[in-house]
A and B are shown apart, each in its own frame.
Chain A
């Protein structure tokens, strides 16, 4: 395809819209996984560009750990009301109550790993055959090798050695019953691309992405928001800091960075100069060099 008259953001956008329309065309019951983070917010805008003035051919699905930033939930509900699309919530608390997963204990307890079970149950309950997600290949080295249409077996597992070749702009969404496909329309975007796009499109974000004063504690060298969801003890010193978040996940595993960037231009400036990658602020990736690969094999986003 000769795309060279297009600016890079236009090209990335056109590719993502093409992928979203392929999902609509190839699957019976797709869903868009919405976390309230900037990547899935970007996906919602791309879906508007792909399908308006029609309705989305899929609902939004939020896997709710119960350990959310309040601001994210508020944002989610306002956004859903604005766009008038259906929202389905899969609750990790419910998975715990039903005994399907067991809450972790100890100082580093987090519900991050438990999400996978809730996600798979939600997929099963609604018979979703494709789940659109906001993962990008620049986030992590296992993700760098994942296909845009990434097939999962009926246990939700990703098998990196049996990935289908993905050629040209042709996506093979054929699956057997019980399997499903994770689709990543912004695979080829970088963190900076997403921010530049958000700026260009003037997309509103949850306020926690911008610098604000917050009570924090330091855990394993990283700043965590003080919250009832962290198992804190007397050794944890609560300090008020001016921070912002680069990713939005579960409160118990998303670290803050100290920042004065309260405007999007400042954030873009900060990221351009930053020497810590975005997932560097995610404790869930720090377990081992292959942490993400292992979680993806187990059915994670």
Chain B
């Protein structure tokens, strides 16, 4: 059994929280006492049934206002998979929350209200999915019950979305007609839409092949911590602890430590009390090298035959996440995996109107703005392009005045 992390894009009005509530409810992931709390709440649907949306609205302010402000993580599992849902708000003022939720997801569900079809919000959400590099998209066309479960309605929306997907370069798109409120095609196949021959949403999520995400084979491991017990029996022990970002490291592989550029050979890979022949992407291990070279936290071990880009001048997409606007005259801190260094945003190349996808020049960058910039870093970063390697192609910006995370960066090119 493995894990599928997905996120849901849509607004309150599209029935997003209801869709998630329905997935949890119909997979028996709601427990009796939670259900009791739900039933005793005074929010009900028009027909008197339980409002499943309450399940995901975690904070008091959200319950009071009936909106989703933050990212809420929900968990459920079936016999086939464990699922982690990032439930994010869909409104434009919560773009940063959506970017946050999407950053760790391998699949996105884009919700479309069958009554409205492809609207501005759909374009915005789909753009964010392409920006964040999520490979699998499910377009869930919801509220089919309110459109008499019409195939014509479904097909018209599907055709319209296809054009958008092509424009954005989204390849793996699956279309499912659903009613979250009534439960059609969420867990059980609907009996109201005989014309639909595809799978229910849950069935699709259970079997979708997620290997498509980040297929890079280039071995990368940022060093987080150097383990040196310095005891009598382990006097010379020196292990580099980290999590493999991508690719595979094997014993006897030639590796290079960046930024120093010194090379050595892997002598041993350890995981707790075991020695491993290889360390796969995703594993947290300890790597030992044959030579005693100077490596510390913030350095990256890479396979010597597939070096990453090293640069101090990087073209990147930036999503601004703070209420205080970007200031191109000050220094920020950039955090790329375990490495932090100072940086400046040298230039704003363009900003994207995420409702229309038009690019235009801009002098300022405010909360929820997205666009292309040039970042100049104090120390060179060893990175890959985001499109090739999400984990090694992303970074955050920190404002050293407030220590807040103010920006998300996706590396697109080296300028040098």
Contact = CB atoms under 8 A, between A and B. Distances in A.
Contacts of A1: 214, 245-246, 281-282, 390-391
B375 interface: no
A53 B395 CA distance: 31
Given A2-B281, A4-B211, A274-B31, A172 B390 contact: no
B394 A2 contact: no
B403 to A, nearest CB: 4
Contacts of A21: 224-225, 241-243, 284
A7 interface: yes
A174 B398 contact: yes
B41 A289 contact: yes
A7 B272 contact: no
Contacts of B82: 8, 193
Interface string A156-169: 00001101111111
**Residue among A18, A142, A290 with the highest chain B CB neighbour number at 10 A:** A18
Interface in B271-300: 271-273, 280-284, 297
Interface in A126-175: 137-138, 141-142, 144-145, 160-161, 163-170, 172, 174-175
Interface string B235-269: 00100011101100000000000000000000000
Given A11-B282, A276-B33, A141 B403 contact: no
B338 A22 contact: yes
Contacts, number: 195
B404 interface: yes
Nearest to B211: A4
A168 B73 CA distance: 14
Contacts of A169: 104, 243, 337, 391
A293 interface: yes
* Contact-size category for B: 35 or more
A55 B229 contact: yes
Contacts of B224: 18, 21-22, 24-25
B349 to A, nearest CB: 21
Contacts of A277: 31-34
A257 B96 CA distance: 43
B234 interface: yes
Task: Give the interface centre of B59, B335, B390, B405 by most chain A CB atoms within 10 Å.
Answer: B405
A25 B242 CA distance: 11
Given A1-B246, A2-B215, A277-B33, A167 B100 contact: yes
A275 interface: yes
Interface in B38-96: 41, 55-61, 63, 69-75, 77, 82, 84, 96
Contact of A142 (B59, B104, B215, B216): B59
Contacts of A172: 335, 396, 398, 403, 405
B335 A170 contact: yes
Given A145-B70, A293-B60, A170 B282 contact: no
A7 B2 contact: yes
B408 A25 contact: no
A232 interface: no
Contact of A2 (B61, B211, B335): B211
Contact of A54 (B228, B333, B404): B228
B58 A168 contact: no
A168 B403 contact: no
A53 B391 contact: no
A280 interface: yes
A48 B211 CA distance: 30
Interface string B94-138: 001101100110000000000000000000000000000000000
A2 B213 contact: yes
A52 B272 CA distance: 6
A54 B2 contact: no
Contact of A141 (B33, B58, B103, B104): B58
Contacts of B271: 49
A184 B184 CA distance: 37
B205 to A, nearest CB: 14
Contacts of B163: none
Nearest to A290: B60
A165 B31 contact: no
A21 B221 CA distance: 13
B321 interface: yes
A144 B58 contact: yes
A176 interface: yes
Contacts of B97: 165
Ranked 9 nearest A-B pairs via Cβ: A3-B282, A275-B32, A280-B33, A141-B58, A17-B284, A21-B224, A174-B403, A167-B103, A277-B31
Given A170-B395, A176-B403, 18 more contacts: A1-B246, A1-B391, A3-B3, A4-B210, A6-B283, A7-B1, A21-B241, A25-B224, A48-B272, A49-B272, A49-B284, A53-B237, A161-B61, A166-B100, A277-B34, A289-B37, A289-B41, A290-B60
24 contacts: A1-B246, A1-B391, A2-B246, A4-B2, A4-B213, A11-B3, A13-B284, A14-B243, A14-B283, A18-B224, A21-B241, A51-B227, A52-B273, A164-B405, A165-B408, A166-B405, A167-B394, A167-B408, A170-B335, A170-B396, A188-B73, A276-B32, A277-B33, A289-B41
